[in-house]
Amino acid sequence: MADIARLYSDRAGKMRKSVIRELLRVTQDPEIISFAGGLPNPDSFPVEDLEGVIKDVMHNHGKTALQYGTTQGLKELREALAERCHKDGIDATADDVIITSGSQQALDTVGKVFINPGDISLVGLPTYLGGINAFRSYEGNLTGIPLDEEGMRMDVLEDTIKSLQKKDIVPKFIYVVPTFQNPAGVVMPESRRKQLIDIANQYDLVIVEDDPYGKLRYDIDHIKPIKAFDDEGRVIYMSTFSKILSPGFRLAWTVSTGELTRKMIICKQALDLCTNTFTQFIATEFMRRGSLDLHIMKICEMYKPKRDIMMKAMKEHFPDGYTCYKPKGGMFAWVTLPEGIDTETMFLDAIKEKVAYVHGKAFHVDGGGERSMRLNFSYSSNEQIEEGMKRLASVVRHKLEKREVVL
Ligand SMILES: Cc1ncc(COP(=O)(O)O)c(C=O)c1O
């Protein structure tokens, strides 16, 4: 056999499989109730509405919608998104918006623009695994900043920046998911968002604000994105259609300013030439009809009871000693179990009981998180959530009993 691996770049050689992708393969067994993936509920997809939209797109724009587009993305879609930005308090024009092939591509583009091998960037402890993978694929080093119930801790952030400064190291960016954080579910309040901007201004740093879940609010008022407080063009904002319309569209957007936007477009060019033109037309028409906000309301109506069922079942069935912050929106609950439990090894027991989650270590760049796990509540049916939580509770109970024997 040809020994091709010897020719791999150092970069590719160091790349590892995504833990979540691997888990998702295991959880494809239909008997397994999966709280593992970050999947929207397929019953939320507006199939019928989209059938009509697609017909119109083909009829009115067929020849352009099936053609290549510009790397920056369809102007009408960028204009519509800039208008939505205004409603959120972000001062942006269509020129500041780039349409990307999912936020995942936006994260990859950020890595490509900023990271040289060995560069340091700052991320939450825990943080989104896809962000970790994207930044590490450019051989960046990630330093974790712990979260509390209000998101990334600003005292630790500032201390870390100061201690790096003493070694003449400037972190390339601070990556945050401030609203219904993946995986922890927490929301950074406005006061802390302003503090973060002040720190970035003071130390002349870039913030990457990743906001896929901000619109999935169940019992909290709208909160302005960090980008809304950015007077100096140092925040790269990104959001996606994946959780509010369809992840299969592979459609997301970034908002940034001036020269940085041009650099990001150049870096995206080699990734895909252009984002899927057809789905850009579909999303534009869906928004033009005023259907997106109505659809988001329907999703929230569907997910809020799921969140409640999961929290209630956890209270009823889980043994004492766990902690879980009740998420006010988004798709995830983050559970931390008592001392002595390792959720990575417990995963095999869970699979035997036909229930799945993602273990906490996957989201920690410092190797921590062994007692934690992320549970998704959007994907499963209400009945599956009830049943799955019972199964998971019994797995945890057994693990705790065994732990007591060992102690
Ligand atoms: C925080 C965060 N960022 C980015 C993404 C990627 O989303 P997309 O489907 O737009 O690539 C996800 C998906 O789960 C996410 O949770």
CA 193, CA 182: separation in Å to the nearest integer?
17
What pLDDT digit, counting tens, does each position of 215-262 carry? 999 999 999 999 999 999 999 999 999 999 999 999 999 999 999 999
For residue 240, give the ligand 1 atom closest to its CA.
Answer: 10
Instruction: Choose the residue to mutate in 128, 176, 179, 211 for probing ligand 1, maximizing ligand atoms within 8 Å of C-beta.
Output: 128
CA 249, CA 263: separation in Å to the nearest integer?
25
In what side-by-side order are the strands of the sheet with 332-336? 323-324, 332-336, 372-376, 358-359
What pLDDT digit, counting tens, does each position of 124-141 carry? 999 999 999 999 999 999
162 C-alpha vs ligand 1 centroid, how far in Å? 30
82 C-alpha vs ligand 1 centroid, how far in Å? 20
Residue nearest to atom 4 of ligand 1 (CA): 103
The whole-number average pLDDT for the span 92-105 is 98
Q: Residue 307: which pLDDT band, with cuts at 50, 70 and 90?
A: very high
Q: Residue 79: which pLDDT band, with cuts at 50, 70 and 90?
A: very high
241 C-alpha vs ligand 1 centroid, how far in Å? 10
pLDDT confidence of residue 367: 93
Residue nearest to atom 14 of ligand 1 (CA): 38
133 C-alpha vs ligand 1 centroid, how far in Å? 12
**pTM for the structure as a whole:** 0.96
For residue 243, give the ligand 1 atom closest to its CA.
Answer: 9
CA 132, CA 299: separation in Å to the nearest integer?
28
Q: Left, alpha or beta for 21 (phi > 0: left; psi -120 to 50: alpha)?
A: alpha
Give the tokens for residue 57.
Answer: 């797109």
83 C-alpha vs ligand 1 centroid, how far in Å? 22
For residue 128, give the ligand 1 atom closest to its CA.
Answer: 1
For residue 241, give the ligand 1 atom closest to its CA.
Answer: 10
Question: Do 176 and 208 contact (CB within 8 A), yes or no?
Answer: yes
247 C-alpha vs ligand 1 centroid, how far in Å? 9
Instruction: Choose the residue to mutate in 182, 208, 268 for probing ligand 1, maximizing ligand atoms within 8 Å of C-beta.
Output: 182
What pLDDT digit, counting tens, does each position of 42-62 carry? 999 999 999 999 999 999 999
Provide the Cα torsion 375, 338, 383, 128; round to 10°. Answer: 0
216 C-alpha vs ligand 1 centroid, how far in Å? 14
The answer on pLDDT for 406 being more than 60 is no
Angle, CA of 306, 308 and 312, to the nearest 5°: 120
Give the tokens for residue 15.
Answer: 């790349």
Ligand 1 — pocket residues by CB below 6 A?
38, 102-104, 128, 130, 177, 182, 210, 212, 240, 242, 247, 252
Beta-carbon contacts of residue 165 (< 8 Å; ≥ 6 apart): 203
Residues 192-223 as b/e (b if ≥16 CB within 10 A, e otherwise) read bbebbbebbeebebbbbbbbbbbbbbbeeeeb
The whole-number average pLDDT for the span 293-300 is 97
In angstroms, the Cα distances linking 324 to 20, 152, 180 are: 21, 17, 14
Q: Residue 155: which pLDDT band, with cuts at 50, 70 and 90?
A: very high
What pLDDT digit, counting tens, does each position of 3-55 carry? 998 999 988 887 877 766 677 777 778 899 999 999 999 999 999 999 999 99
Q: Tell me the CA end-to-end span of the chain in Å, nearest whole number.
A: 50
3-state SS of 254-310 is EECCHHHHHHHHHHHHHHHCCCCHHHHHHHHHHHHCCHHHHHHHHHHHHHHHHHHHH
402 C-alpha vs ligand 1 centroid, how far in Å? 37
Residue nearest to atom 7 of ligand 1 (CA): 103
* Cα–Cα nearest to 287, from 103, 71, 100, 46: 46
